[in-house]
Chains A and B, each alone.
Chain A
Amino acid sequence: MLQDCVNYIQNNYSQIAVQILDHARISLLALLAASVIGIFFGYLASISGKGERWIMGVFQVLRVIPSLAILVLLIPVMGVGTKPAVTALTILAIPPVLMNTCVGFLEVPPFMVESGKGIGMTDRELLMHVRFPLALPMILSGIRSALVEVIASATLAAKIGAGGLGEIIFTGLGLNRADLLLIGGVLVGALSLLSLAVFDLIRRLLMPYRYRKKG
């Protein structure tokens, strides 16, 4: 079986490379779009007062809808291909980013805002230098869950004609070929873990203060 895997990779490496790139591209696109939308509306939700509970409730519901359902539901509306796939992945990724952003902003301690105001920051400066940096850890952990979700669902997106590594797995399932299943499974798993590692590294660089020891 291992020999089968090696043979397949040798014969199809350029196609596999395209699938990896496709997978990464649609995931990244969806994640970026969801981050922008999620952070923006999450912030709005956090300053909306009573609206916050309502908005959070809606997204709590959106969040529990199975990803496959969202992915498939768009097909009657948008057809198949990359566009509906990226749209569906974005919709899937928005709730974790938005909800974490909202909670992150709400959890900024009032005394931090007060001391910023007290030393004479304008509202804009308070947002840029106090509220946002203090909410950032929560926002990033939201983007991290969205990342896991997006890469997983991008695998399913092969089913709606968006390409990516899911193609290998679905072909393997269709033809009942263990070698394809193993290659696809390992590649998707590796892509997911690798992107998480890269994300964690970026997070560490963005927030060095959280990783220093107390002295």
Chain B
Amino acid sequence: MTAIEYQEVCKRFDGNSAYSVDHVSAQIEQGEFITILGSSGCGKTTLLKMTNRLIDPTEGRIVLFGEDISTVDPVVVRRRMGYVIQQIGLLPHMTVEENISIIPKLMKQDKAKIRDRARDLLSMVELDPDTYGSRYPSELSGGQQQRVGLARALMPDPKIMLLDEPFGAIDAITRVNLQNELLRIHSQTKKTFLLVTHDINEAMKLGTRVMVMNGGRLLQFDTPKNIIRHPADPFVEALIQSVLEQREFWEGVEDD
């Protein structure tokens, strides 16, 4: 089943003549792990934010499970999706458990159920609920905070997860761990993941398919293997080339 469909989506911000997102069309099936790759200013974050109506497109349509989202209340659209950002944005005055539970609590769901689910999710992101549930965000490391951010996004059991450079501010070793866990959570939950990154290694490692963007346009949308073997555009080719050069350096060191 098609989870997300972008139909000729464009975004032009006030006072700008150029498109930030330029006629992007793509279909994403349920259960895919899509990574959106591009350098800063390429429109990848704008595309992601249009998916949960943080930004509305200037032209074109976005359809989620057959429903045009411009006809749905933004708050409702957002509650159906998980959203994780680089700065995490945990509320400093709430404990970890309160942070995770905030939306269902605001929706007045059953308290015992909320609590059980919050504890399950903490376990899923490998944080012991008894140890960490009652802590404040300031008492956690950056990596732990982002695990909580992930649990908060998973709380309403959304079909779609949107992640905007979730590991951008996290050190290299922790980042690799978190990437592996994200893959595990993806295969456990079978949700549709959409992750924005400027790190080509991250994009290729995580994505079942990768969208490569530049200057607002979607240059190529394919599996990592196909992109590497058949780059569809000079920009994509240059991107692949930069990784290959790096690899030569590493291999050269190993050979010595």
Contacts and interface: CB of A to CB of B under 8 A. Distances in A.
Q: Assess A/B contact in the complex (Cβ within 8 A).
A: yes
Interface in B39-92: 52, 54, 75-76, 78-80, 82-83, 85, 87-89, 91-92
Given A111-B85, A129-B91, A214-B138, A118 B106 contact: no
Most buried by A among B54, B93, B94: B93
Chain B: interface residue count, which band?
20 to 34
A111 B168 CA distance: 14
A125 interface: yes
B103 interface: yes
A133 B137 CA distance: 15
A122 interface: yes
Contact of B75 (A120, A129, A213, A215): A120
B152 interface: yes
A17 B156 CA distance: 58
A109 interface: yes
Contacts of B136: 209, 212
B89 A112 contact: yes
A198 interface: no
B102 interface: yes
Contact of A118 (B54, B91, B102, B135): B54
Contacts of B103: 119-121
Contact of A215 (B89, B139, B152): B139
A130 B91 contact: yes
B153 interface: yes
Given A118-B89, A133-B91, 18 more contacts: A111-B85, A111-B87, A111-B89, A112-B87, A112-B91, A114-B89, A116-B89, A116-B91, A118-B85, A119-B83, A120-B80, A121-B75, A121-B102, A121-B106, A129-B91, A129-B102, A130-B91, A210-B92
